[in-house]
Structure 1
């Protein structure tokens, strides 16, 4: 793989752990209330008026027959009046979800999956042009145009569904003061580094739709994610989007939601492809929605030569061809448990991108040469957009590609990573040994070049 080197400012090291989110009755709005997803036979006005006796309605999802509500804790219990109501088919928890973050030019993460071979400067001419990528996350920082070309972000289609309690569903505000969504977007589109150099993304020609479904603290609810999925699916269904569409969800919770699965299936029926991170819970298993079989899920891998050769190691060449010996599986990347499905691995360790850790709500117009705007992040959150970007390349080649077909191509062309271990350098002058089994690897590390070549 060809390396494209440049002098860059030192990047600060940051590692964030995603929250473990087991569902216990979480209070919402007022004392004694919990969030729930109520399945009903219809979502008409009479039904909604009837449901109001149990609590307030946040979202209505007529496409899948669910209503997101805040209800009394006693109505969430078996045998409650709500569960026994003849208009109610089921009551499930509205689980809390969180970001899956653990910790021009080509960085190691794009190089190791052969992205440079499919961009216009490479052997093949694909960069995601004509493909829409909906990033369901924390939004984009206010100065996102410092990092991304304005033409590559469909800001007019950006929406916020992150807080039905505090805001209006469908609000055009997608401002990100967390920076997670901005970092994820940078992996897909690439980014400007201090205005001095530009680093490649996996699909720099794609058009990103920022959909804010997580709060600025990096967490949200199943219902907000469902609202975002259905919003994008209906843009496709109604012909607002004139090209293929793929959703990226670098987020998840510890339990699956039947309403969320229904929304995913609805979106897939509209022709929308869906990628999600596997989670950062290691041996505890995958998060949802990534664990659903319908979703293309991404675990996190790293390069064995991380932090070898100084602090600019991330710009150095990854030998071509990539071999299994070049790759390790991170310890935080969620392992596949029975009933869960891990599809592929992608770079998710020490990935550089814009991240305004010091006050994203009021960033400087341009902090040229001042540290604090770019960070290494690690997590399956970082792996997922590599997969999503690769899917965008496949859709540019074949706009009619289905979810099942894209998943099959990624699986069949991935570099198999056998169970094993690797000792890797750290930024602190020490080493760390990682060990993994077959439940951590899926079908292996994605190869963008091979996947494009194999796409019919």
Structure 2
């Protein structure tokens, strides 16, 4: 969905001499209205009578999203069942076996470094809801159709967002496809200019191949909650509410939410949404953020959510400009070749960083590369379009269909995939016993059983510093402290064994 910029048409108004001009009514703004339990029809009527234009009332927890003029906020807040009225927050995306595709000559480094070769589980029987930017209409060019649960895919907008008739596959950003590809894999049509950097073919020769996912037999539910300007909290909450309903309708079905997005603060209604999902048995995994020393974003910083920082391999781009490095063998030497990226958000007071996983230079579908400078998201690209791959008669189109992508946006789905492997091993495992505590008391929050097992299985990391080769071929020094490592590095085999 593209967010349209609305331009008010100028209107000529005749005013009788001596008569005052009528003042325009204040335009409504988006708000999240909290309540202790799901709103009743009578309470919704009271909200409307007080001046709130209700956008959605959440089903599984207390609260609603509404458009409210500034002159009516006090009246809404004064209603006896209303516990909070806060502006609708905006989160941002955290991105700095197929017969049609031949196998890769080797495993991707991020699989090798996660010890996936030691795991027999594939995520079979697990649903992963990807709360993100949705898919492009040509998503079948990248995915096996049966891997995507199209009958369950949905799209939600913010309070003031444009209606999109549930167009989950009319995305305005490829981020959601890249995140999903990390989990279930994708087709890769190799060409000399694919991947964005380096010389030659990324796989060593031309052709179409299949890049496996961390949980290749899991099923993806695309849930579009983001617009070009960001991801409104009201839409995210609606997405979480929808997935919670799916879980309650299918109590024996293991379901994971991946949220590769985040922002400052934890809103009361957002906490209600997360608590309802967690208590229902949905496992929520989220990216820690790409803000470095500025700290983590929410929902990841909320302890009942599994939060994931980003690391990489010390031998990335070691033979620059050759770009087949990602298929080199990773030595089985514990965490000796692991580093934590400088952009990965550090844990600050009142925040909880759980684990670290691969989030540096994963080769993923990203067909809007012309909107990014050197592979990094450029500023002022809110009004985005996407063209097909460049051809001799369409040279202005996107130069790449794939990029070596970085960000906690991709370490999060890597761990969401590992969680899917754990749930295949033990479908009854969840974080439903997590301590949700109170909104402004992080000390009252606690992890659930799955998170505790995942954390205990992680291999501890030590603070350190390493110089690696950057994507441009120049040296890059990455330095991290104790606030960047959580409980350590996730190895898939250890996590699966810990699932019981």
Alignment correspondent of 2:142: 147
1:84, distance to aligned residue in structure 2 (A): 2.3
Q: How far apart are residue 409 of structure 1 and its match?
A: 2.1
1:396 aligns with 2:424: yes
Does residue 65 of structure 1 match 2:62?
A: yes
> Is 1:229 matched up with 2:240?
yes
- The residue correspondences of 1:16-415 to structure 2 (distance < 5 A) are 32-40=27-35, 43-52=39-48, 53-76=50-73, 80-102=74-96, 104-105=103-104, 106-118=107-119, 125-168=120-163, 171=166, 173-194=168-189, 196-215=208-227, 217=228, 219-239=230-250, 243-309=253-319, 310-323=322-335, 325-357=336-368, 358=370, 361=386, 363=388, 372-403=400-431, 404-415=448-459
Deviates more, 1:37-46 or 1:59-68: 37-46
Q: CA deviation at 1:257?
A: 1.3
> Following the alignment from structure 2 to structure 1, what is the Cα–Cα distance between the partners of residues 135 and 217?
18
CA shift digits 1:337-388 (9 cap, x unpaired): 1111000001111111001115875546999xx9510011111101100000
1:269: Cα distance to partner?
1.6
Alpha carbons of 1:394 and 1:94: their partners in 2 closer, same or farther (altered >3 Å)?
same
3-state DSSP of counterpart to 1:135? strand
Equivalence for 1:451: 495
Change (3 A) 1:387 1:48: same
Structure 2 equivalent of residue 10 of structure 1: none
Whole-angstrom distance in 2 between the partners of 1:290 and 1:148: 28
Q: How far is 1:170 from its partner?
A: 7.7
- Alpha-carbon distance change, 145 to 365 in structure 1, aligned in 2, over 3 angstroms: farther
For the residue of structure 2 that corresponds to 1:156, the secondary structure is coil
Q: 1:24 corresponds to which residue? A: none
Question: CA shift at 1:110, angstroms?
Answer: 1.8
Deviation at 1:153, TM superposition (A): 0.5
Secondary structure at the residue paired with 2:151?
helix
Distance verdict in 2 for CA 1:407–1:51, change over 3 Å: same
4+ aligned runs moved over 4 Å, structure 1: 166-170, 358-362, 364-367
Give the drift of 1:55: 3.0
Gaps of 5+ in 1: 1-29, 119-124
RMSD over equivalenced CA pairs, Å: 2.3
CA contact (8 A) 1:282 1:331 kept: yes
Deviation of 1:328 after TM superposition, in Å, equals 1.2
| Mapped contact 1:141–1:360 kept (Cα < 8 A) | no
Alpha-carbon contact 1:143-1:365 (below 8 Å) kept:
no
Given the two structures, how large is their TM-score scaled by the length of structure 2?
Answer: 0.78
Shift of 1:210: 0.5
- Cα drift, residue 432 of structure 1: 1.4
Q: Which has the larger radius of gyration?
A: 2
| d(CA) in 1 for partners of 2:160, 2:87 | 17
Structure 2 unaligned residues grouped into runs of 5+: 1-24, 97-102, 190-206, 371-383, 393-397, 432-447
**In the TM superposition, what whole-angstrom CA distance separates every residue of 1:42-97 from its partner, at most 9, and x where no partner exists?**
52233222212323211111321101112223555xxx333223342222232111
Q: Is the 8 A contact 2:34 2:268 kept in 1?
A: no
**Measured at CA, do residues 142 and 174 of structure 1 come closer, stay the same or move farther in structure 2, by a change above 3 Å?**
closer
1:313/1:186 Cα in 2 relative to 1: closer, same or farther (>3 Å)? same
How many Å apart are 1:139 and its aligned residue? Answer: 0.9
Distance 1:290 1:443 in 2: 15
TM-aligned CA deviation for residue 267 of structure 1: 0.9
Q: Using the alignment, how far apart are the partners of 2:45 and 2:242 within structure 1?
A: 24
Q: What is the rounded CA distance, in whole Å, between the counterparts of 1:253 and 1:289 in structure 2?
A: 8
**Alignment CA distance shift 1:144-1:365 (3 Å):** farther
Q: Do the aligned partners of residues 366 and 319 (structure 1) sit closer, same or farther apart at CA in structure 2, a change above 3 Å counting?
A: farther
More deviation, 59-68/31-40: 31-40
